[in-house]
Amino acid sequence: MTRNQNRLVRPTRRDALFGIGAGLGSVALTSMVQGEQQIQHHAARAKRCIFLMMEGGPSHIDTFDPKPELTRQHLTAFTRNGEMESAMSSGKRYFVKSPFDFIKAGDCGADISTPWVHLKEMVDEICFYRGAQVESVNHPTACYQLNTGNQFGGDPAVGSWVTYGLGSSNQNLPGFVVLPRNSYPQGGAANWANGFLPAKYQGTPLRPEGSPILDLNPPAGISRKRQRENLDLMAELNRQHLSTRPGRSDLIARMESYELAYAMQSEVPGVIDIEGETQTTLDAYGIGDGPTDSFGRKCLLARRLAEKGVRFVQAYAGNWDSHDYIQRAHGSLIRSVDQPIAALLKDLKQRDMLKDTLVVWCGEFGRTPDNGIRGGGQSYGRDHNAKAMTMWFAGGGTRAGHTIGATDEVGAEAVQCVHHIRDVHVTLLHLLGLDDNKLTYYHAGRHKQLSQFGGQVIPELLA
């Protein structure tokens, strides 16, 4: 017997271990039919999450965190010795008051700026949080940190961790769906990538215009029976291919993707066909009205996906990077998302889904209370601020009708109930029944987790 022949009969220890891994392909395919085992660390308050991402950094000072002190210090600047002087003549950075008035809304008396015409009606369902902080004021790195916990990218997205822990409750749909805008957010698809988790946990983006999923239906003349036969043959060939290339999670994910695509053909058309909704519902979300149509469709689709068992849906609204003309820019942006978001919360509540659906609203950071002179002092805007931002949560076991934390008198920095974004991530997982310290994956020589090196639940946010 030759050495090569002997090797076929007597596999090495590595070959034996790889052979075990090779069986994952058929196991993975079987799981598409039999379902996935959930990791449940404790009783969950939420079954699913809808994450509303306002990319660009919305200004907390002009939305949900009023600062009367800025009105008193408007267009003044601090000199090096701490004295204030007129910034209009000095050319220094200057404080900028909000161009918007604020009201106390709802029974809880939540602070909200007046452009939020519709959301003010839902503040009693919302927990506003003013204590969050991040590390970067650079858009891509801040987006990565918000979405993955790692500002340098390459790690799994929050939605990937959630589906890794909870699996999918509908085997005909992806567990993690992303609704991006026409152009991807800064940092691109890495914002919803699987990172070092198996490739099956990456987010599935749906196209913002036209058909959300291209080539969903089989070619003309190909029956479901013929398509099934082709997939069975391809699966067998792929299993043979995988047996000689163990440990390739990307290949396993590709094999699963064929099965998922086949299953989606029967489920997805009914989910994405929002035109089947009543006209009253479409009007409530602002669909058909120019400014609100795009995000209204995303919010309605998010509700439909959540209703069908998708664990994590992330919807993007962009262009919140208002360095100048903040009254015009933020005013327009608020109008584009206000009605859709309020309709989403009302719809979830009416369907008795808000109690176990966690809705999150935030950007990658907040804005500064000051800015430099631009346009002769008339184009007031704000710069990036990693030390102060407002997030809010609704449903899913959060503390409705409360405002938690605070920033200083001008909104420059969080000063009460201050927590790094990692603690927000830990709290989100906690509400979904997952323990960040137990939800780990072995990679590069250690067990890794969403919070990187551990964090803590923010108890003030919990009902």
Q: What is the mean pLDDT of residues 406-425?
A: 98
Q: What is the mean pLDDT of residues 6-15?
A: 43
Give Cβ neighbours of residue 412 (< 8 Å, ≥ 6 apart). 368, 369, 385, 387, 388
Q: What is the mean pLDDT of residues 409-417?
A: 97
Rounded CA gap, 86 and 377, in Å?
12
Q: What is the mean pLDDT of residues 250-267?
A: 66
Task: Break the chain into its structural domains and give their ranges.
Answer: 11-461
56-91 tens-digit pLDDT: 999 999 999 999 999 999 888 755 444 444 444 445
Q: By three-state DSSP, how is residue 407 classified?
A: strand
pLDDT of residue 306 exceeding 50: yes
Give the position of tokens 């664990």.
311
**Beta bridge mates, 312:** 49, 176
133-190 tens-digit pLDDT: 999 999 999 999 999 999 999 999 999 999 999 998 888 889 999 999 888 999 999 9
- Domain 11-461: assigned CATH number: 3.40.720
348: nearest Cα among 166, 127, 162, 125: 125
Task: For residue 78, give both structure tokens.
Answer: 């601090």
89-144 tens-digit pLDDT: 445 778 999 999 999 999 999 999 999 999 999 999 999 999 999 999 999 999 99
Give the position of tokens 């000051």.
370
- H helix or E strand, kind and range, residue 199: none
145: nearest Cα among 291, 364, 306: 364
Give the position of tokens 């608020």.
334
CB atoms within 10 A of CB 74: 14
pTM of the predicted protein model? 0.85
